Structure 1
């Protein structure tokens, strides 16, 4: 079928299997160009199909020849209807991994559930024995808690007072003011339940109980801090409370891993165009200006460049550098004073009329559509594509 992008708000409801495959191949090519590096050998990636999770899986497999198991919740294809982009990403990843005789299997289902945890445990026992790295990279807006069956929904709200600032509709380029009402205590609690550290801890506890974690095991979750410009809606908002909880959980998990000399870390990454970040008011405008500055400074990174630098220059050093809160900081280029000063100055100038000149809205929009396999330079979208592309390891 001929597949075209169809958008609804900050999501694209279609995905292109060939475009997604090209994106994955490009990331693999980048990692291969860097040569084999010291890294993990048996890896579980929870949230493995897009963004930082996918980049972590690619970096592990093609950077250090690791066996990988990916867990995610993606929509499979149906005749005449495309799968979600993460499905096609995974199909491409597994295909390329198997060409290199790399072990790669995937589990599609609700990672918050006990059932998927147990299915994953059984697969690790059967095929890998033990694992030496778990990446936790879930970004779901909802969670059904496995213990009480309650469905919780996260929110993107400030705390205390309403918040008014600029944002951009990246489909139209219109810069306008937006006001977001503050979250309630229930909003905060729900967001922490969905996006905090509880499920990360449940995964590690279950894997540890099953004796599946090797000596010197590591686990890593991803976070974001960002500048003062975005803190009201992000770091000091409901989602920030969830990130605080996630970061504190690293210490709790590390304590539980003492007997195997294991460690849990949180990596603070840079702002990137992802399905999650596109949903956060103010962030698309900030990223558009940030990209303009970072590209001019020669500092721009995508997911794959970020994760390669994280693995190669942080996570697998003899002494892992952290900030005073114990976090790995791979957002260092974004947070350089010279970069943030320029972004703050451009923010004051940003209007519908000036943004095409002072920002990189075109780059933002292209990256957004790239997430779903569209606007990839090497793909001919006038040709028919097979929407029924399968993931090799999933029947």
Structure 2
């Protein structure tokens, strides 16, 4: 009998290498996206009734918040949602809110605080909710979480609603993968309306599945090259995604690969000094015609410099250079950039996973020293000074 596989690797081998959960959770994302869509669609009326009084108010504010990977969900979505909603939309990490609450929370401005939490047990996440509840006169809390038992959904507040994602998205692995992608999808569907995504979710899921299948070999080969530095670059929505890609690689290699992130245009202004002869540069290329031209200019410049070992474009369009230096997302050449978030992040997850294994690290528990944890520990919360 053929043994089960994940990412083309026998699960027995993945188990032995401490990589099974990470592989499974990357691979399950297309299916989880469609299940997440169905969940949000089923709650559409209740969600609209809860969020509309804030999102439809030009004098109000929406804050997308979380810590680490969860905060990058907000960084990916905030620029788009700020254009779509009447209210102002910002991404502010819980770690920033907790350490400087009066800088980010306006007592007189109506607020929808959208809190992301895979486990919902990060102390900063709970503290951010409590601070908003204390400081803001008119605040609503939308909790987007993967854990039915998390503390985040149990904080006593005046107005709250919880979007509980499918149980499988509560990633067992150290690194967030399907939890990131599905919390991001649930939030976009909830605030844009699931009907606007209903005809697109199938294409997004199919493209993500194809990328996981087709880019698996290519990202594995890149990981075996042994780059000691990787720069992730993205414009617009993809700058937040580049930050998540850099974190994922740092987490899964336990800091064994130096990483940075920037926008392609911003990379020229100093961060380009990061590039050495053993550096891989990966660029998330936009579908927007104007933004794409700037992305391609930077690709040309980096390739012309010849300073980096490899420059890879991740694109939904035709490759700009040698096809061997492109990872192509099928079926979304005409899509808006927001639809590319999910197949693009799958590329970064695959590369981080293979880089971890290539270095002899166990992806499910990469930090053997215990200095970082799946749920952050060692946080001491201080009372506000009057």
State the TM-score, normalized to the length of structure 1: 0.28
Higher RCO (C-alpha under 8 Å, 6+ residues apart): 1
Greater fraction of residues in helix: 2
Q: Give the TM-score normalised by the residue count of structure 2.
A: 0.29
